[in-house]
Structure 1
Amino acid sequence: MTLPISANTLVKDIVNELPKSSDVFKRFRIDFCCGGNISITAAAIENNVEVSTLLDELTVVFENSTPADKNMDVWLESDTNTIINHVINNIHRPLMVELAELSPYVTKVFKVHGESHPELARVKELFFEYKKEMTEHSAKEETIVFPLIKKLAENSIENREETISYIKELEKEHDHVGAILKELREITFDFTPPVDGCGTYRLVYKRLELLEGETFMHVHLEQNILFPRYI
């Protein structure tokens, strides 16, 4: 199979074509959601990666993919209501549960290991900042912005510009959450627990990494598929 992309293809378009490519971008700390509107070449230069290395890794993912792996096409072709309902029921709801369940573990790890691993103070701070941001962000989407977007889709809205301004606010919030997750990955050394880390320590880092991946796909679905329909 020939890779259907080149060094000039946009990062976000690659993830749309092949969602599993997001794992490659995460490994090289390339933002494919908020910062996905740049070419492979630009992303490689920005993150000190050889373009050829990036293309080689993406080729491996593509050659080992199955038709089922290319499921982002479902969202490209889905109507607005379907995407919004998916975000609410399959992203927001599980996220709120995970944030509630993970919070005491993050606090516990800091209390037990914070003296020997001072970076955990910042991990705890960033996690609770992320929790606050995403809780408020999700509520704003559900109560204000998504209903307005549905009206945009139906051509039944009176003030289009107001809705656009709300969407742009959400995009800024995405940027802020992306910065939080980037710092979390950096100070945890790519979510790698120390050799003296207990089971809870390892659990927290693993779940934080999973949270990062889910958030990136959440933002990608909104920022690169849903929102551009109306901006």
Structure 2
Amino acid sequence: MTGWTLTPDTTVGEIAERLPGSTEVFRRAGIGFCCGGGESLATACAHQARDLGAVMTELQTLLARAAHQPPAETDALIDHILIRFHDIHREELDWLIPLAQKVETVHGDHDEAPLGLTEALVALASGLDSHMQKEEQVLFPMMRAGGHPMIAHPIAAMRSEHDEVDQLLGNVRRITRDLTLPEGACRSWTALYTGLDKFATDLAAHVALEDNVLFARFQPA
């Protein structure tokens, strides 16, 4: 991202091409980035009655994340993953699950109630925790030791489990209509979907860091 500046006058198409994750921001905002990619960000936000400042904040967050280089040393990278992702995923699911149960109980008769969300989150938490324990107890110690002749096998298994976790998260998105709040949603419902959105973003970053950076260090090019 060196030498590139994001401004309200930058075209949507250029942002989509240069900034990973920006297309998801545009999708949520209803901003077209294919045929309408020639518009400036400011014009596109105005056409969709979107808050330019809010969209810029989301994109700047992505830009900062893209500019951040993961630790070069493997032990430090593993420590980063454990603290930044493993610990935080567990902490967040600990309060997201009871909050989902509360929303289902209180608003179960609402047409857009996320019925089945608690069960879906429990399944996600169980699958993700099992996956992370395998990394913590088996794969990461192997990596800290400098590798192992058979390390490709647990790496392949962890990559496969990443896909399984993504499917579990997809079920959460389906139940919540892609985390779309109904009009007049209460604070609990809003906090639930806001927390789930942050969790999903973190999980995607977690998986990408492992698949594309950490695991790649132990596999032939």
Check whether TM > 0.5: yes
Q: Rate the CA distance shift 1:148–1:193 in 2: closer, same or farther, 3 A.
A: same
Which contiguous aligned blocks of 4+ residues in structure 1 show a shift greater than 3 angstroms? 25-29, 49-58, 70-73
Is this contact kept in 2: 1:130–1:180, CA < 8 A? yes
Residue in structure 1 matched with residue 23 of structure 2 by the alignment: 24
Instruction: Name 2:101's counterpart in structure 1.
Output: 107
Give a deviation string over 1:43-67, Cα, whole Å, max 9, x none: xxxxxx8756679899x98xx869x
User: Would the alpha carbon gap of residues 208 and 81 (structure 1) be closer, same or farther in structure 2, given more than 3 Å must change?
Assistant: same
**Which residue, out of 112, 127, 132, partners 2:126?**
132
Map residues 1-231 of structure 1 onto 2, 5 A cutoff. 18=19, 21-25=20-24, 28=27, 51=34, 69=64, 71-72=66-67, 74-75=69-70, 78-117=72-111, 120-151=114-145, 154=146, 157=148, 160-161=149-150, 163-231=151-219
Unmatched 5+ stretches in structure 1: 4-10, 30-48
Normalised TM-score (structure 2): 0.71
Identity, % of aligned positions: 26
Shift of 1:121: 2.5
Of structures 1 and 2, the one with the larger relative CO (CA 8 A, separation 6+) is 1
Tell me how many residue pairs correspond in the alignment: 188
Deviations 1:115-147 (A, max 9, x none): 334752232222111111111111111111100
Structure label with greater radius of gyration: 2
Find the aligned partners of 1:229 and 1:103 in 2 and give their Cα distance.
Answer: 35
Whether the 8 Å contact between 1:24 and 1:57 is mirrored in structure 2 is no
Report how far residue 85 of structure 1 moved. Answer: 0.5
Q: Which amino acid aligns with 1:69?
A: A
Amino acid at match of 1:141: E
TM-score (norm 1): 0.68
Describe the SS at the equivalent of 2:143.
Answer: helix
Which one-letter code corresponds to 1:127 in the other structure?
L
